[in-house]
Structure 1
Amino acid sequence: MMRSYMARVGISVEELDHLNIIHVTGTKGKGSTCAYTEQILRNHGFRTGFYSSPHLVQIRERIRINGQLIGNELFSKHFLHVYGRLDETKDSHEGIMPTIFGFFTVLAFRVFLEEKVDVAVIEVGIGGHYDCTNVVRPWVCGIASLDIDHTHILGDTIDKIAWHKGGIFKPGVPAFTVKQPEDAMAVLRDRAKERNCPLWVCPDLEDYHADCGPLQLGLAGQHQHSNASLALQLSHTWLQRRNLPDGHFPATSVTNTDGLQGAAFKPSPIMVKGLADTVWPGRTQTVKHGAVTYFLDGAHTMRSMQACASWFKETSASRERTASGPVARVLLYNTSRERDSAALLKLLVPCHFDFAGFCPYLTEASVSCSTGEQFDRKVENCKVTRCLANEKCWRLHNNLGNDSGEHVLNGDSLSLVPEKKADTQVFPCVLSALQWVTQGRDSALADSEEMVATVRPSLKSKAALLRNAAEIHILITGSLYLVGGVLKHLDPATYQ
């Protein structure tokens, strides 16, 4: 189908070879890996294209040239061309039009070809084997960390998911993977042998020895180490091929299909700087606005949420040590229906939040959603049913409904004292949640002081801790869509 759509637009698979593609899949970390890889190659002076998904705020974020999302004029020009060609030819193709993701994949290919990029870094959408991006014939491909996700499409076990991811392997094209669970690794080895694809496992980041000492990463969190190592292998391999006279890999580099340990090397100063310069919004991102610090991470699988919780606890605690007074910890959470919210929220309990807010992806309500009456009328319209269920899960995890108290350690003995109860609240939109939890202390949020002043009494009673805190630390997680809704309000200039 993708070949058919491309042909209708005037693009052949052979033409895509001119993009010198790096193809990356995985459950978590594939976007970060692509961001590191693109930054390294851009630092080398190459004109880069980067196709990713999903977007946080603007659909144009999915298609980047030299690290920048394409402008409105360029986007409109290519959008109208691709849509026009597909629409004109649909009658001769049984009226078939591509999915949204398929359409934007074709659009990205056209943009990169027309803009004559030296390299295109292509992130897989879902899976790999049947993904729209899998028409490409890359120079090198990579697999980031695997986890259980999109089970209705990829299957409910790690080995089934690994089969789909290994579908991007191509004969003779070097492939790299980070360390995977053994069941997944066994499937990847089999897929590599089936396709005569050379496969290596990336070394630990600590195994690379640069003149500057330990490598510094632009993206926070221990889990980024494996993504950075994968990016080093991908960029290094791409550069090796680029520098060969015939543009082909030496024969000795395509003999390993067993997933052997890849070799660390000495990163060049350009590579070192590329890792440190990398920015990838919404992934372990910290934004400080005065007394309010936002911690943004779109984690939505078990392993990514574990990594998110570890990152937040470590980073928040470090900042608390230098605070001038008490710090209030706030959780702002939402997730899609297919996720196991109960399991994900349980991983966040050890972060010891003082307040937990839940809101839908709606960035703002069509009218003010600050009063109780307006909120009650808009509960269904704002689709907060899922948020109410998430709030219930959170309260159950924290034993918030038990007024009789719990046995806790008091001094040197156990006594029956009430457990500390963190407040919770469901908000009708992202803006109302941000305005209230910041208590008018972030000038970037329009009318936040008015929001606090007009909020219903039941919420006012919950605000004392936030008002009295020297700093407020807010973790926004569970979904990249929620993170995008927050960034739209925190940094509107970037996402115009």
Structure 2
Amino acid sequence: MSRARSHLRAAFFLTAVSPRGATSWIAARRELSARPAPQEPGMEYQAKRQRGDPQKQLEAMELYLARSGLQVEDLDRLNIIHITGTKGKGSTCAFTERILRNYGLKTGFFSSPHLVQVRERIRINGQPISPELFTKHFWRLYHRLEETEDSNSCVSMPAYFRFLTLMAFHVFLQEKVDLAVVEVGIGGAYDCTNIVRKPVVCGVASLGIDHTSLLGDTVEKIAWQKGGIFKRGVPAFTVLQPDGPLAVLRERAEQTSCPLYLCPPLEALEEGGLPLTLGLEGEHQRSNAALALQLAHCWLQQKDHRGVGEVKASRPSLLRQLPLAPVFQPTPHMLRGLRDTEWPGRTQVLRRGPLTWYLDGAHTSSSVQACVRWFRQALHRCKEPRSGTEVRVLLFNSTGDRDAAALLKLLQPCQFDYAVFCPNLTEVSSTDNADQQNFTVTLDQVLLRCLEHQQHWSRLDEEQACPEPGGPTSLLLAPHPAHSHSTSSLVFSCISQALQWISQGRDPVFQPHSPPRGLFTHPVAGSGANVLREAAAIHVLVTGSLHLVGGVLKLLEPSLSQ
């Protein structure tokens, strides 16, 4: 059995039970334990591993598609909306899908990463496909690829993200969706979703710095990659970007003969009509909603659908680089779609007794800045007279080649009382959860990174510090800051332990077994536990890695695992 094939089985063995029954289940577990360092199913790792001629990677994806029984032309039937960007592309996809579903259309939605279960990545009418449907399509595709493998090829099975992309296309075609909203994995030009040759419309959400080892170290280089999804004659839309990357997008569009439009702000669509209410919180979501409205409006026009909204007079672009997209009156279907959009783990709030959990995956500087604005505004809105102490807690982790110190610095204005760091592991032993397993790193490695995060935080505290004799200290003895607000920091081995310490049994849903022996013996953990038990309100911001947010949701919302 090839290495790629065994890794694929290892990644899925808890989600897709083979029709062959328990034998395959046991065999997959044995295969997993027999491999000392199976590969991470993360897109970035796979992209690095398969780096070479990027165009050949797309050609390889077309070969996988052919081996699976489809041709690129078959994907034209999916009426795809292809969306990329650095931040907000997932939310834009969610808004777009919800709007079009309100028109009575059967929608497919492929996104990444998942938060709790891998089947979240493939949705029909907004809902993750069922375990039974996932199982059926997984093994059907797996065996088809197995039967057509070339013994002379060094890679006989597609990697994790490629496999899921192929599977999504098969599911959407078999389920006969009216359209598919497809989110790019990484970049655009050489992303495996870019084998789509004739999408109906394309979108580019806000651009920023991320995945620099793959996409480049400037926003302009990243814009070049994102603009790679543009297709000849296919309309594309983008939101307001800095001049440099916007010029790159315009150049890419001109080279491809792609009509590219700049989205007017949401305020322009509100004039003379009803105010727009968004189901996703945060000022930054208005940009995503504006893009989603244009994508949905264009798709409906391209498909000659009725009720697309009355077009008003268009205004000249302020930047004079791109024509402004039409200003139109959003229809009731569009208004309801924006209002009813849900996208877990993004500006999400869970209120549980004295605890309020704020969850927002943010792993770039711009997305963390947006997260901080949202969190502080949310705190301001919920100000109520309370007889007791209010405590603010940060739960953070960051992975990959991201600059964690820079991200943590942006979080400091929130004035947290405690900064908690842990790996993206729900439990110390998480072999029962392949959906959230990272197969390339050991517990020691991820804990070392968490300790580095703690050290970054303590150094940031010290930079602001004005030592006070006898003042409280953090876990690494950071002195009391000059603004008389100190942050104590802790590292836990997994998400469950971190949540146990933060909640202190006061979350009515998250009620774990007794904590491991010695969990709260550190002086900071012990004194902090007393503070948390007596606090009138505890505000917890969970941010950084989306995988961290997913692990927290798995424990706080058990229904998501069912």
Which letter maps to 2:389? Answer: P
5+ residue gaps, structure 2, are: 1-59, 307-313, 431-441, 470-480
Post-superposition shift, 1:462? 2.3
Q: Deviations over 1:207-262 (max 9, x none)?
A: 113776220000000000110000000000000111169xxxxxxx9xx9952121
SS in 1 for 2:560: coil
In 2 relative to 1, CA 210–59 (structure 1 residues): closer, same or farther, beyond 3 Å?
farther
Q: Give the distance between the partners of 2:296 and 2:429, measured in 1 at CA.
A: 46
Q: Does 1:147 align with 2:212?
A: no
In the other structure, the counterpart of 2:439 is: none
Q: Give the distance between the partners of 1:235 and 1:87, measured in 2 at CA.
A: 38
In the other structure, the counterpart of 2:520 is: 455
Instruction: Compute the RMSD of aligned alpha carbons.
Output: 2.4
Q: Give the distance between the partners of 2:385 and 2:330, measured in 1 at CA.
A: 35
Percentage identity across aligned positions? Answer: 55
Post-superposition shift, 1:430? 0.1
Which letter maps to 1:237? Answer: C
Which letter maps to 2:279? Answer: G
Task: Note the 1:41-56 alignment, pairs <5 A.
Answer: 41-56=100-115
In the other structure, the counterpart of 1:425 is: 490
The answer to whether the 8 A contact 2:237-2:260 is kept is: yes
> TM-score with structure 2 length normalisation?
0.79
Aligned residues: 467
In the other structure, the counterpart of 2:461 is: 398
Post-superposition shift, 1:90? 1.5
In the other structure, the counterpart of 2:135 is: 76
SS in 2 for 1:399: helix
Q: Give the distance between the partners of 1:84 and 1:63, measured in 2 at CA.
A: 20
Task: Note the 1:104-123 alignment, pairs <5 A.
Answer: 104-123=164-183
Q: Give the distance between the partners of 2:182 and 2:134, measured in 1 at CA.
A: 18
Q: Deviations over 1:361-416 (max 9, x none)?
A: 1101239xxxxxxxxxxx9547311111101111111128968339xxxxxxxxx9
In 2 relative to 1, CA 66–210 (structure 1 residues): closer, same or farther, beyond 3 Å?
farther
The answer to whether the 8 A contact 2:387-2:536 is kept is: yes
The answer to which of 256-265 and 94-103 deviates more is 256-265
The answer to whether the 8 A contact 2:500-2:515 is kept is: no
Post-superposition shift, 1:61? 0.6
Which letter maps to 2:508? Answer: S
Post-superposition shift, 1:420? 3.2
Q: Deviations over 1:441-488 (max 9, x none)?
A: 013223366569963152212223322211100000010000000000
In 2 relative to 1, CA 243–429 (structure 1 residues): closer, same or farther, beyond 3 Å?
same
- Corresponding residue to 1:132 among 188, 192, 197: 192
Q: Give the distance between the partners of 1:268 and 1:29, measured in 2 at CA.
A: 23
Task: Note the 1:54-65 alignment, pairs <5 A.
Answer: 54-65=113-124
Post-superposition shift, 1:3? 1.2
Which letter maps to 1:201? Answer: L
Q: Give the distance between the partners of 1:452 and 1:421, measured in 2 at CA.
A: 28
In 2 relative to 1, CA 463–241 (structure 1 residues): closer, same or farther, beyond 3 Å?
same
Q: Deviations over 1:169-221 (max 9, x none)?
A: 01111000001111100100100100100010001011113776220000000
Task: Note the 1:342-421 alignment, pairs <5 A.
Answer: 342-366=405-429, 381=444, 383-399=446-462, 404-405=467-468, 419-421=484-486
Q: Does 1:298 align with 2:361?
A: yes
Which letter maps to 2:148? Answer: T
In 2 relative to 1, CA 244–387 (structure 1 residues): closer, same or farther, beyond 3 Å?
closer
In 2 relative to 1, CA 436–236 (structure 1 residues): closer, same or farther, beyond 3 Å?
same
Q: Give the distance between the partners of 2:166 and 2:387, measured in 1 at CA.
A: 53
Which letter maps to 1:429? Answer: C
The answer to which of 311-320 and 128-137 deviates more is 311-320
Q: Give the distance between the partners of 1:213 and 1:116, measured in 2 at CA.
A: 35
Q: Does 1:22 align with 2:81?
A: yes
> TM-score with structure 1 length normalisation?
0.90
Q: Deviations over 1:314-347 (max 9, x none)?
A: 1022213354533110000000031101100000
SS in 2 for 1:383: helix
In the other structure, the counterpart of 2:535 is: 469
Post-superposition shift, 1:289? 1.1
The answer to whether the 8 A contact 2:396-2:544 is kept is: yes
In 2 relative to 1, CA 167–450 (structure 1 residues): closer, same or farther, beyond 3 Å?
closer
Post-superposition shift, 1:37? 0.3
Q: Give the distance between the partners of 2:229 and 2:113, measured in 1 at CA.
A: 19
In 2 relative to 1, CA 449–323 (structure 1 residues): closer, same or farther, beyond 3 Å?
farther
Q: Deviations over 1:28-87 (max 9, x none)?
A: 000000000000001111000000001111110100000000011110111111111112
In the other structure, the counterpart of 2:11 is: none
In the other structure, the counterpart of 1:309 is: 372
Q: Give the distance between the partners of 1:418 and 1:92, measured in 2 at CA.
A: 66
In the other structure, the counterpart of 2:281 is: 220
Post-superposition shift, 1:494? 1.9
Post-superposition shift, 1:280? 0.3
In the other structure, the counterpart of 1:409 is: none
SS in 2 for 1:398: helix
SS in 2 for 1:293: strand
- Corresponding residue to 1:12 among 68, 71, 80: 71
In 2 relative to 1, CA 10–322 (structure 1 residues): closer, same or farther, beyond 3 Å?
farther
Q: Does 1:438 align with 2:503?
A: yes
Q: Does 1:186 align with 2:186?
A: no
SS in 2 for 1:320: coil
In 2 relative to 1, CA 448–314 (structure 1 residues): closer, same or farther, beyond 3 Å?
farther
In the other structure, the counterpart of 2:125 is: 66
In the other structure, the counterpart of 1:337 is: 400
The answer to whether the 8 A contact 1:210-1:267 is kept is: no
SS in 2 for 1:294: strand
Q: Give the distance between the partners of 1:59 and 1:188, measured in 2 at CA.
A: 32
Which letter maps to 1:129? Answer: A
SS in 1 for 2:172: helix
Which letter maps to 2:76? Answer: D
In the other structure, the counterpart of 1:85 is: 144
The answer to whether the 8 A contact 2:415-2:485 is kept is: no
Q: Give the distance between the partners of 1:200 and 1:401, measured in 2 at CA.
A: 45
The answer to whether the 8 A contact 1:30-1:143 is kept is: yes
The answer to whether the 8 A contact 1:439-1:452 is kept is: no
Q: Give the distance between the partners of 1:18 and 1:417, measured in 2 at CA.
A: 62
